[in-house]
Amino acid sequence: MTMTHSDKKTQKHYSVSDVFTRMGVAMEELLQAAPHMMQEGKFEGNELHGRLKEKQKAA
């Protein structure tokens, strides 16, 4: 996998196994920090952030 860092305009190569390993570690850390998040079901899928949210508020 190649990732371009927008602030540095450079590319860094990551192995796919390293990416998935880190993603698994991050998910474990998230679930430890908020163990009941998945059961609460507060995410409806229509949450917005940023400019689009502001446009919808104005409409």
Chain Cα centroid distance, residue 17: 18
Residue 9 domain boundaries? 2-42
| pTM as predicted | 0.43
Report if residue 47 sits inside a domain.
Answer: no
Rounded Cα distance between 4 and 20, Å, is 18
Of 48 and 39, the structure prediction assigns the larger pLDDT to 39
**Average pLDDT value for residue range 45-53:** 65
Predicted pLDDT of residue 25: 93
Report if residue 52 sits inside a domain.
Answer: no
Report if residue 27 sits inside a domain.
Answer: yes
pLDDT tens figures, 14-43: 888 998 999 999 989 988 888 777 677 666
DSSP-derived secondary structure for the chain: -EEEETTTTEEEE--HHHHHHHHHHHHHHHHHHSTTHHHH----S----THHHHHHHH-
Q: How confident is the model at residue 52 (pLDDT cuts 50, 70, 90)?
A: low
Of 3 and 10, the structure prediction assigns the larger pLDDT to 10
Report if residue 19 sits inside a domain.
Answer: yes
Rounded Cα distance between 38 and 56, Å, is 27
